[in-house]
């Protein structure tokens, strides 16, 4: 028993580091590939790519009613549970794929898409089918806490996909860039998954198994459904209303603006939920941990967002073929503000879930979903492309309501842990802004970054006695 427990601890630790490495690796590789794509591709082609990718979560929702998550959560499983999950999933997958395939003419006409977009759409459908075949092998690895093998598959998939789209885009393959890359990723990923976790598919349905699995699966799927409505389905609406080029501007601005959140806050979220869960009865430790999270995330994000807002216009000028995104720069500014404000909701939703207040999170999800579908169409009608980011910025202010609710659970100080880095970031931004009096070139751009970094670090120490080196070092110690 002790040896099993040690193995679980060892596998958990390896899995934890593997997840951190994969998320960072994929984020950086994705940003590099996105950088190449936005240089080479026209906004209209990039918009079709964004719209097509939005189909994948939609397909995933209707291919699974939470059975996969139920299989992971269930304490003990047998062959009937596995066969039942696989069989029901494949029935749903094939049904969804059949409907999606026959909807091809409607989708193409509705968005006025070129023929090449049809091939991309079919590639996504085929990739979705192959992805469904990985479910059981992946669940087997999750249950044995061998996330490092799942991470290996994800790393290989990401590498194949992003390298392929970068090379093919440079070679002017147009939309075929994504068609070929998606097929390569799915074929390589499925093959590798079965090599690492081999399983012979079996067909069969057990009434006992399906009843126990659905008890967990259906409530779980409700949260997935709300996230789907809030984040992905809205893109289909925007694609029709603002067109592919408008959607490309929104996608470009949102993706670059949210890059710091994806790298910093997504990794914090993955760790904070299990940590909060482990110490959920120790309210003092939770309060202290929340204060540290607020302090460190603001210490990192405040200067990054300030610098990005100040220098994005220079990036547009300096990068070849990037002036085509000039219209999206004001959108980027609003998305950046929205992303920064929304980062202050993340620690508290993790807190609610960890201490058993999952209904609180669900209520906020319902609120965000309803308000998104009310405000985004309304603001888009009045403000055009600016309606979407303005709506997200207003919704990101929800942390003003969330913080007092969280304070009823644990004691913590919110303002004092975020104020100092924000104040210094604003001073830093003022210095950099008034120093940009020279012609824009690579030297003045690098000088602005150096000036911003030095002034931020120096002012933190002079005004508030915060040594950034010691602060960062303390993270690794603790």
Report the percent of the chain where pLDDT is more than 90: 31
Top mean pLDDT of 85-94, 153-162, 353-362 is at 153-162
The answer to whether residue 47 sits within a structural domain is: no
For residue 126, pLDDT over 80 is answered with: yes
For the chain, the average pLDDT equals: 82
The residue with greater pLDDT, 430 or 131, is 430
Q: What is the pLDDT of residue 310?
A: 93
Which range has the worst mean pLDDT, 16-20, 344-348, 474-478?
A: 474-478
- Which pLDDT score is estimated for 69? 57
Segments forming the whole domain that contains residue 297 = 258-478
What does the pLDDT read at residue 253?
93
Per-residue pLDDT at 436 exceeds 70:
yes
- In this prediction, residues 340-369 reach a mean pLDDT of 84
Residue 62 has pLDDT above 80, yes or no: no
The residue ranking higher by pLDDT, 27 or 371, is 371
Give the lowest-confidence range in 195-209, 271-285, 358-372. Answer: 271-285
> How large a percentage of the chain has pLDDT more than 70?
80
Mean pLDDT of 305-333: 90
Residue 14 has pLDDT above 80, yes or no: no
Within-domain flag for 97: no
Residue 410 lies in a domain: yes
Whether 457 is in a domain gets the answer yes
pLDDT, average across residues 256-276: 72
Q: Which of 224-228, 240-244, 328-332 has the lowest mean pLDDT?
A: 224-228
Q: Is residue 77 part of a domain?
A: no
Establish if 207 belongs to a structural domain: no
Question: CB-hemisphere CA count at 13 Å for 414?
Answer: 14
Cα distances from 415 to residues 394, 399, 421, 422, 461, in angstroms, run 20, 12, 11, 10, 19
pLDDT at 278 over 90: no
pLDDT band per the 50, 70, 90 thresholds, residue 8: very low
| Arithmetic mean of pLDDT, 166-185 | 90
Q: How sure is the predictor about 342, in pLDDT bands with cuts at 50, 70 and 90?
A: very high
User: Would residue 349 count as lying in a domain?
Assistant: yes
Residue 98: per-residue pLDDT:
92
- The structural domain count of the chain equals 1
Give domain status of residue 404, yes or no. yes
């Amino acid at each position: 028993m002790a040896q099993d427990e040690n193995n679980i601890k060892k596998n958990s630790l390896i899995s934890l580091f593997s997840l951190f490495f994969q998320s960072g690796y994929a984020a950086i590789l994705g940003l590099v590939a996105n950088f190449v794509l936005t240089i080479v591709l026209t906004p209209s082609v990039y918009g079709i790519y964004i719209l097509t990718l939005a189909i994948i979560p939609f397909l995933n929702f209707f291919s699974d009613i939470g059975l996969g998550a139920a299989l992971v959560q269930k304490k003990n499983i047998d062959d009937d549970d596995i066969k039942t999950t696989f069989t029901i999933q494949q029935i749903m997958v094939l049904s969804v794929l059949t409907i999606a395939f026959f909807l091809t003419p409607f989708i193409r006409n509705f968005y006025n898409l070129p023929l090449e977009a049809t091939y991309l759409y079919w590639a996504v459908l085929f990739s979705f089918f192959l992805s469904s075949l990985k479910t059981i092998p992946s669940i087997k690895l999750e249950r044995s806490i061998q996330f490092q093998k799942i991470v290996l598959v994800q790393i290989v998939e990401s590498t194949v996909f992003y390298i392929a789209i970068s090379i093919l885009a440079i070679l002017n393959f147009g939309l075929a860039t994504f068609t070929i890359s998606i097929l390569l990723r799915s074929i390589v990923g499925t093959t590798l998954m079965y090599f690492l976790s081999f399983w012979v598919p079996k067909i069969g349905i057990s009434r006992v198994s399906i009843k126990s699995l659905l008890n967990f699966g259906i409530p779980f799927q409700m949260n997935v459904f709300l996230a789907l409505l809030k984040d992905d389905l809205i893109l289909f609406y925007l694609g029709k209303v603002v067109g592919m080029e408008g959607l490309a501007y929104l996608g470009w601005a949102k993706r670059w603006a949210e890059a710091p959140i994806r790298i910093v806050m997504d990794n914090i979220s993955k760790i904070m939920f299990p940590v909060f869960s482990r110490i959920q009865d120790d309210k003092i430790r939770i309060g202290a941990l929340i204060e540290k999270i607020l302090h460190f995330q603001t210490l990192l994000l405040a200067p990054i967002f300030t610098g990005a807002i100040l220098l994005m216009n220079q990036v547009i000028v300096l990068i070849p073929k990037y002036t085509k995104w000039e219209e999206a720069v004001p959108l980027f500014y609003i998305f950046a503000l929205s992303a920064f404000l929304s980062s202050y909701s993340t620690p508290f939703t993790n807190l609610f879930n960890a201490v058993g207040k999952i209904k609180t999170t669900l209520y906020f999800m319902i609120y965000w979903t309803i308000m998104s579908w009310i405000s985004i169409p309304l603001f888009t009608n009045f403000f055009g492309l600016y309606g979407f980011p303005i709506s997200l910025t207003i919704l990101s202010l929800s942390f003003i309501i969330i913080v007092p609710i969280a304070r009823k659970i644990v004691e913590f100080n919110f303002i004092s842990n975020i104020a100092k880095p924000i104040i210094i970031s604003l001073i830093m931004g003022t210095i950099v802004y008034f120093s940009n009096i020279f012609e824009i070139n690579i030297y003045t751009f690098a000088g602005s970054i150096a000036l911003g970094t030095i002034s931020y670090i120096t002012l933190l120490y002079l005004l508030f006695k915060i040594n950034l080196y010691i602060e960062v070092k303390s993270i690794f110690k603790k």
